[in-house]
Structure formats: structure tokens, C-alpha cells
Structure 1
Amino acid sequence: MIMESKRQQKFAGVIQEDLAAIFQREGMNYLPNTMVTITKVRVTPDLAIARVFLSFFNNTNTTLALQTIKLHASEIRYKLGGRIKDQVRIIPQLEFFIDDTSEYVDRMEKIFDKIHREEKQPDTE
């Protein structure tokens, strides 16, 4: 796995903050009654592509929510450009993904709980 440079990390942080502000202010236009959180941003070494990982709260169909965000990607990129145009030469292309880390953690906790319960039950042999 290749480590990100300080420059990439700093740029990703700027993008994450600005996208969070955009989604906080205008997220209801894209997904009514859904809270969108930017959990992570990864930027390519040339800073041309930003991979944005999203988490959706109060939404049962995350796949549809992601498709909706992807449909508005150019509009979101334009708004991001308005915020960071003085800091960068090019506005990165935005790629959106679902961050399923919380689902993974929940699934693992259930497995560990099940194992823990099975260990507590005495053998009935």
C-alpha cells in the first residue's frame, strides 16, 4: 500500500471540510431527510481525482442515495471549485463511494457477541 504524501493528506482535508460544508448547507436539495457525512477523502498523487467516501444517516437505500449524489457530482464539483479556486490550480474530479465501515463494525460485533454467548453456555454432554 502506497502512503499518501503530506500534500495529498492536507489537500484531502481541505476537500473534506469544504464538501462537508456544501452537504450541510445544500444536502437537503439532493437527498431530503438524509444526513450525508464525508467520512474520508483520498486524493491521487497528481491531485486530479478525489475519492470521497460517504455515509448516509436516516436513509434505508444507500445505493439509491449514492446514485443521486453521483448524478449531482458536476454541480457539487462546481460548488467545491467556488470554495477552493484560490488554493488550487485544478479542481479535482470527484468520485463518490459508500463508506460501509460502520456496517462492517456492526457485523463484527454481532459475531463476537455470538461467540461470547456460546462460550458462556456449559456443555450439555
Structure 2
Amino acid sequence: MDSTRQQKIGRQIQKDLGEIIQRSPAVTAGALVTITRVNVTSDMSLARVNMSIFGGPGKEEVLKIIKEHKNELRYELGQRIRNQVRIIPELQFFIDDSLDIIERIDNLLKQ
């Protein structure tokens, strides 16, 4: 169970990182990237970022590009949240395909 502080920092990271990624066309490679969830560890040293990716060269390719720019994204995030946390968390990125599953189920139900 996440503490209130973990949830608050997770929501802040989700909001700020989403804005940073949307304003960086080199990072998204023309795809629409949405941060769906951020889980922060109890010591605030690691943030697991789940994202959905639409369009572009492919989900795995966009994920690879984002991982290559991880340090720049962490720096930009640090500039925004440095007054709220002592340690800027390391970022781990994962593809969240729950939206694809929901869409697939919805299409099956419509048939």
C-alpha cells in the first residue's frame, strides 16, 4: 500500500514528466506518449513509469528512444520537483498495454 506522500509525488511526476515528454519531439519520435501511472518506492529513490504509446515507429522503438534520453528527462524533472523531494528518483519506463486490452475487449463485445 502506497503512502499518501508516495501517491502525491507519483501524481506530480506523472504530470510533469508527461509535459516534458510531450514538449520533446526527439524523444517521442512522432508517437503520442501518455503517462498512465507512476509508482514510487517507499524510499522515493525509484519511480516506475507506465506509459501508453500510440502511433510512431512502434512501441518498442519509442520505448528504446525514451530510455536513451532517460538522463535528460530525469534532469528536466529534477528542475521541476527539486523543492518537493530530497532525491530525484531514478526512472524506469514500461509499456502499459492495458488500454489496448480494453479496446480489444470492447471490440469483441460489439461483435
Higher relative contact order (CA 8 A, sep 6+): 2
- Does 2:99 align with 1:102? yes
**What runs of 5+ residues in structure 1 fail to find an aligned partner?**
115-125
Counting only pairs closer than 5 Å after superposition, residues 78-93 of structure 1 correspond to structure 2 as 78-93=75-90
Secondary structure of the structure 1 residue equivalent to 2:23: helix
TM-score normalised according to structure 2 size: 0.91
Report the counterpart of residue 6 of structure 2 in structure 1: 8
RMSD of the TM alignment (CA)? 1.4
User: Who wins on radius of gyration, i.e. which is larger?
Assistant: 1
Q: Give aligned pairs, total.
A: 111
- Alpha-carbon distance, 1:113 to partner: 3.8
Q: What is the percent sequence identity of the aligned residues? A: 45
Distance 1:75 1:95 in 2: 13
Match of 1:58 in 2: 55
Distance 1:47 1:96 in 2: 16
TM-score normalised to the size of structure 1? 0.81
1:60 to partner: Cα distance: 4.9
Tell whether 2:23 aligns with 1:43.
no
| Residues 22 and 28, structure 2, Cα contact 8 Å, conserved in 1 | no
For structure 2, the 5+ residue unaligned runs are: none
Mapped to 2, the partners of 1:65 and 1:7 lie a distance apart of: 30
